[in-house]
Amino acid sequence: MSTGLLASKTALVTNVGSSLGFSIAQRLGLAGAHLFICDSNDESLRNSLSKLKIDCGKNVFGIVADVHRKDHRKQLFDEIQQELSHLDIMVVTNPPNKTICDILESTSMDLDLVYDTYLTTPFRLCQSAMPLLEKSSNGSIVLMSSMAGFNSFRDIGLYSAAQTSLLGLCKGLAFATAKKGVRVNSVSLGMFKKDGSGGFWSTCEDPEAVQQVNNLIPLGRIAQNSDCTGLVEFLVSDRAKYITEILKSEFKPEYGVEVAAVLKARSTTYSAPDVPHPFRQCSYFRYLSGITSPDCKLIVRSRGSTLFVPELSKNDELWHGKAPTLDELKAISGVDEILSLNQFEPYLASCSQRAILCMELNQFKDDQVILEAYGKQAKRGGSTLFKLLDQLRWIKSQNEIELMRETCKIGSNTMNSMMKHSKFTPNENHIVGLLEYEARRRGAGSLAYPPVVAAGNRANTIHYIESNQEIAPSDCILVDAGCDLHGYVSDITRTFPVSGKFSNPQRILYEALSEVQTELLEYVNERRPLKLNELYFYMCECLASKFKEISIFKDQYMSDEKILMEVDNICPHHVSHYLGMDVHDTASVSRAIPIPSNVIITVEPGIYIPPNYNLVRDEFKGIGMRIEDDVLIDETGSEVLTRDCVREAYYIEELMKLG
């Protein structure tokens, strides 16, 4: 049985003979959907059916159908009813545009053909599909369109006009079909090779001309089908729901028929006049919009989303550089409209007349106008918005998982290189600089947080971040550091001897801790359901067992119960937290609930023995150690994302010999 994102769903993809249509069908099929495809060309259809059955299995059906014709549309949906009995998804892709001319030179026949192909036919397909889609628990339509709908091009003026109309049709349909439980979205393609638009970028073959086109694109190349198929898959999945749909379930009906989610980007802060702190966007704002610019605002409603951006003066651009263009912001964020920031307050006032506002008031604590005008209304929902977003952020998408794999790989290699080159380093601050250098040169945007670099007894201060003291030649150094890659972070801790060789007491403690880490990772891999609070109790049991085994306490007759009690003093922090866009990610999600697939956690046991802890043997006093790895959870096992980071004492010593 398929367990993909679209398992058990049925999907119709039109014009599958096109490169884009086939790629979308292939992506949906690989995600578990039962496919029904159509194309007006018999040979194209048969070739597509053959390839898709090889790639996606037997659940692929199709017929030759010219969807412009009413009788063919009827036959198409009759066949779907007969073969699959229901329909959850319809993706309407377009045939190639053949009307290439200046719009003023087009004929009435050209006008009729273009509008029939790119507006009337998609509309009629939606009408014909609705009887089947509204029976689905989460019906979805995606209309493939083009950036030509936003920017007219001289040689495809009619096509541009039709695409603009298609975007308007999408909004109108979305409002009408929502009453029947069917979502409608549009994916507007940028400059795609062979996208069928007829634009100069789609047919360009001359290498010099191709390079000129590439220079126009922020991505640095003409887009490929794979750049958008994942988005289509997400939009037609059950996870693609407006945040307002989730919010509505949290509010009682008397609060109103619509909810507006209101978010604020972070502002630039300063440590001194004209000296800004490093800027990091609010993770909730970036999660919904992808925007990393400061001082923006976002309103998400059931009828669409609006991004508000500040306007920069010529002087601002001179000192700080140009801001992203509106087209770039729209491409990044996927919002329906972008307005100037000075329109935010009147827009919000209009929203508040028709919708309940859901916002985190703490985000607007410095904005007395907003608090006084809307604070009481927003309090009706409590601090709901971030909690709901935490539920979404907690479970990672495949794209997020790939980003986490990469940031953990960079973090692991950074930590390895740092240990390799830190033998007899005289000061903690040198290691801070080395971490920053190693992370950035491997592609990270920055370190994820101020690193803990704690030598000797300072490692017993769990979040010691001064990291600027001298290191004694006999010290062990605890380093807790991660890197930030496109807003997703790693979190790794290792402990190593600055001399390159553990002393006997250091080795005894470290190897005991490493063995506990191994047991915890095995528990995480095998235990289902897995709960973080139960993992913590298991850590306490493992530490207690190891402490007894290595005779850490002076009293050799200390009872098992007393040893277990002392574990809380020796390791006073939890063993795990969630990880993602923030180091302590999705903080509102309980640690006492079962963890589903695609959640990422840390596993981080520690041993902290200050000099005045008199219950332990003297040789262990003043030593602090922690080991931390990042782990992806799935239904049947786990993946240690930081497995490349050297952990065993022997291999740490061997690594440091190479420095």
Q: Which helix (H) or strand (E) holds 492?
A: strand 492-497
Residue 523 near residue 517, CB atoms below 8 Å = no
User: What mean pLDDT comes out for the span 51-70?
Assistant: 89
Q: Scan for tokens 């931390």, then name that residue.
A: 628
Please give the Cα distance from 365 to 267 (Å, whole number). 13
Render pLDDT for 85-130 as a digit per residue (tens, 0 to 9).
889 999 999 888 887 778 888 888 888 888 998 999 999 999 999 9
Category of 586 on φ-ψ map: left (φ > 0), alpha (ψ -120 to 50) or beta = left
Render pLDDT for 175-217 as a digit per residue (tens, 0 to 9).
888 878 888 998 877 666 666 666 665 665 666 766 665 665 5
pLDDT at site 254: 44
Question: Who contacts 628 (Cβ-Cβ below 8 Å, separation ≥6)?
Answer: 480, 491, 492, 493, 494, 602, 603, 604
Question: Can you tell me whether residue 411 is helix, strand or coil?
Answer: helix
pLDDT at site 253: 44
Measured distance between the N- and C-terminal CA atoms of the chain, rounded to whole angstroms: 51
Does 2 have pLDDT greater than 50? no
Question: Can you tell me whether residue 85 is helix, strand or coil?
Answer: coil
User: What mean pLDDT comes out for the span 256-277?
Assistant: 87
Kind of pairing between the strands at 488-489 and 356-359 = unpaired
Please give the Cα distance from 411 to 390 (Å, whole number). 24
pLDDT at site 462: 92
- The amino acid occupying position 306 is T
Please give the Cα distance from 165 to 185 (Å, whole number). 14
Q: For residue 252, name the pLDDT band (cuts at 50, 70, 90).
A: very low
Please give the Cα distance from 624 to 177 (Å, whole number). 61
Q: For residue 553, name the pLDDT band (cuts at 50, 70, 90).
A: very high
Please give the Cα distance from 214 to 47 (Å, whole number). 32
pLDDT at site 242: 47
Across 12-21, 247-256, 414-423, the highest mean pLDDT is recorded for 414-423
CA distances from 486 to 262, 417, 483, 651 (A): 23, 22, 10, 31
Render pLDDT for 571-611 as a digit per residue (tens, 0 to 9).
999 999 999 999 999 999 999 999 999 999 999 999 999 99
Q: How many residues does the chain have?
A: 659
Question: Can you tell me whether residue 272 is helix, strand or coil?
Answer: strand
pLDDT at site 506: 98
Please give the Cα distance from 417 to 85 (Å, whole number). 58
> If you ran DSSP here, which 8-state letter would residue 228 be given?
H
- Which tokens in the block code for residue 138? 């989460």
Residue 301 near residue 332, CB atoms below 8 Å = no
Q: Would you call the peptide bond into 529 cis, given omega within 30 degrees of 0 as the criterion?
A: yes
Least confident of 41-45, 230-234, 451-455: 230-234
Please give the Cα distance from 396 to 387 (Å, whole number). 16
pLDDT at site 66: 93
Residue 521 near residue 631, CB atoms below 8 Å = yes
User: What mean pLDDT comes out for the span 510-536?
Assistant: 97
User: At residue 10, what are phi and psi to the nearest 5 degrees?
Assistant: -115, 140
Please give the Cα distance from 19 to 96 (Å, whole number). 11
Please give the Cα distance from 477 to 463 (Å, whole number). 14
Q: Closest by alpha carbon to 12, among 74, 75, 72, 93?
A: 93
Does 564 have pLDDT greater than 60? yes
User: What mean pLDDT comes out for the span 487-503?
Assistant: 98
Quote the strand ranges of 367-433, DSSP E: none
pLDDT at site 1: 36
Kind of pairing between the strands at 483-485 and 488-489 = antiparallel
pLDDT at site 99: 79
pLDDT at site 156: 80
pLDDT at site 244: 44
Does 155 have pLDDT greater than 80? no
Please give the Cα distance from 59 to 61 (Å, whole number). 7
User: At residue 239, what are phi and psi to the nearest 5 degrees?
Assistant: -80, -15
Does 269 have pLDDT greater than 90? yes
User: When comparing pLDDT for 1 and 240, which is higher?
Assistant: 240
User: What mean pLDDT comes out for the span 431-447?
Assistant: 97
Please give the Cα distance from 157 to 70 (Å, whole number). 28
Q: For residue 513, name the pLDDT band (cuts at 50, 70, 90).
A: very high
User: What mean pLDDT comes out for the span 132-143?
Assistant: 89
Question: Can you tell me whether residue 183 is helix, strand or coil?
Answer: strand
Helices (H), 550-600: 560-570
- Which tokens in the block code for residue 226? 């794979």
The 10 Å CB-count burial string (b at 16+, else e) for 500-511 is bebbebbbbbbb
Question: Can you tell me whether residue 190 is helix, strand or coil?
Answer: coil
Question: Who contacts 578 (Cβ-Cβ below 8 Å, separation ≥6)?
Answer: 394, 584, 585, 586, 587, 589, 599, 600, 601
Q: CA angle, 171 as apex, 170 and 173 as ends, to 5°?
A: 65
Q: What is the mean pLDDT of the chain?
A: 88
Does 142 have pLDDT greater than 90? yes
Please give the Cα distance from 103 to 110 (Å, whole number). 10
Least confident of 129-138, 217-226, 379-388: 217-226
User: What mean pLDDT comes out for the span 339-346?
Assistant: 92
pLDDT at site 407: 98
Residue 596 near residue 392, CB atoms below 8 Å = no
Please give the Cα distance from 353 to 74 (Å, whole number). 44
- Which tokens in the block code for residue 658? 């190479």
Least confident of 147-161, 174-188, 426-440: 147-161
CA distances from 350 to 341, 346, 355, 356 (A): 15, 6, 9, 11
Render pLDDT for 347-371 as a digit per residue (tens, 0 to 9).
988 888 778 888 888 888 888 778 7
Residue 643 near residue 476, CB atoms below 8 Å = no
User: What is the dihedral angle through the alpha carbons of 519, 524, 525, 527, rounded to the nearest 10 degrees?
Assistant: 110
> If you ran DSSP here, which 8-state letter would residue 9 be given?
-
Predicted TM-score (pTM) of the model is 0.65
Question: Can you tell me whether residue 189 is helix, strand or coil?
Answer: strand
pLDDT at site 656: 97
The 10 Å CB-count burial string (b at 16+, else e) for 358-397 is bbbbebbeeeeebeeebeeebeebeebbbebbbebbbbbb
Render pLDDT for 295-331 as a digit per residue (tens, 0 to 9).
999 999 877 899 999 998 888 888 888 888 888 998 8
Q: For residue 4, name the pLDDT band (cuts at 50, 70, 90).
A: low
pLDDT at site 318: 87
> If you ran DSSP here, which 8-state letter would residue 243 be given?
H
Does 136 have pLDDT greater than 50? yes
Q: Closest by alpha carbon to 630, among 375, 347, 406?
A: 406
